[in-house]
Structure 1
Amino acid sequence: MKTIRLPRVKAAVVTAGLAATLLGGTVVNAPTASAATPTCSKFKKVANGTNSYAWVPASSAGSTACQLTTGNSSTAVSTLQFTLNKCYGPERGNSGWNLGIDITVDGEFGSQTKSALKKVQQALKDSGYYDGAVDGIYGPKTSRAMHHRQYYQSNNRFDSCFRVLA
């Protein structure tokens, strides 16, 4: 009698399928990383040293490792839109990034916000600050690469933009 040996990968798939069938379950794919990233729903004050801070989109749990995309509507979106205007538009303060962004701050993540964000992602990628996809989705990589509007504790005045590494 001749023994037939299946390649290891094929054998593993067959074994997993058999185990799932015997246990009454089904085989499913693991969730993607973006599916595990919570949606940004509010904003959070993040310190930059002792006398300045930035308002950054955050999840309901307070994490800045969150995501915004087309269709989202919240104060987190408004915070992002304001930051895009102030740090990447004509009113950029001392950040040095004038990409001509001037979008409506309405708290709705629509085509205008997505287009502006793609422009920022491409500029950050071209400058070596960002290695993610230029997709118009605000996620943890975009958040860490972007400059956010900076305020001073003494007068709560916007003056420049800085990268938040929180």
Structure 2
Amino acid sequence: MQPMNPIVPNTDKAEKYKLLLKQAEGLISSESDLIANMANLTALLKDTFNWFWIGFYRVDTESNQLILAPFQGPLACTRINYGKGVCGEVWQSGETQIVDDVNAHPNHIACSSLSQSEIVVPVKNKDDEIIAVLDIDSDKLATFDEVDAEYLEQLVELLK
């Protein structure tokens, strides 16, 4: 299936997300491989919003760490400990977290000094266990809001 470009000029953020969700459903509905679906979702998000960094970290229960998975953007941290950084906090709490200024967040892990704001969304399986987190960074302050949280949570639901 050839992906279509979901960017539509002069549409608000919610409308972009609605189009993105439709395309994401089409992309991953016939694919059962989680990593392949994560890869396509990061590319779709990058094409739609062009944020600084978009990627997944998978839960590794043996090491009790998050391990880097498919992403779009510059080099990233490879492993994150449980409860450390915003990603580790989201893994621990199971709740989406929005950080308007990562430099003011006491537990932030700086994988890149260019990152200024962040949203992290837990990814759960059918048994409601956290299997990964979706991490998105912007090079601008206060990029993310409740609209992003709502639609990104819907997006990761497609991975169940």
Q: Fold conserved (TM > 0.5)?
A: no
Larger Rg: 1
Structure richer in strand, relative to its length: 2
TM-score range, shorter chain: under 0.3
- TM-score normalised to the size of structure 2? 0.28
- TM-score normalised to the size of structure 1? 0.27
